[in-house]
Amino acid sequence: MFVSCEDKVKEATEATACASILANAEQTMEAANSEFEAKVDAGTATKADCDKFVTIIQEIVDCMPEGAEKTEMQSGITLTSANCSVFPS
């Protein structure tokens, strides 16, 4: 199997990005949840707000190691994403 230097650089860059994402995951999730929940409570949440929330959480989950926690979080994202369509565009 041939792996180019570009692939190794890309993998290293992604690993560094994931390390940063995971280091701040709890704060990022809390902030995203608070922002979205406030809009839902105020009745101003839109599909775009929901999609933004899902994207933020998905970025974190994509960096998580395989396991039960990642599987559970992915299930929650799938459910939330499916429900984004109930919000107005």
**Domain residue ranges in the chain:** 25-86
pLDDT at 25: 92
Q: 57: closest CA among 20, 83, 31, 38?
A: 31
Which pLDDT score, from 0 to 100, does residue 13 have? 67
User: Considering only CA atoms, which of 34, 28, 30, 27 is closest in space to residue 49?
Assistant: 34
The CA R_g of the chain, rounded to the nearest whole Å, is: 16
Q: How many CB atoms lie within 10 A of CB 55?
A: 12
Going residue by residue through the chain (89 aa), what tens digit of pLDDT does each one get? 555 666 665 666 677 889 999 999 999 999 999 999 999 999 999 999 999 999 999 999 999 999 999 999 999 999 999 999 999 99
- Contact call for residues 28 and 60 (beta carbons, < 8 A): yes
Predicted confidence at residue 1, as pLDDT, reads 52
Q: Which two tokens stand for residue 4?
A: 């180019």
Amino acid at residue number 66: E
CA–CA separation, 43 and 55 (whole Å): 21
- pTM, entire model: 0.79
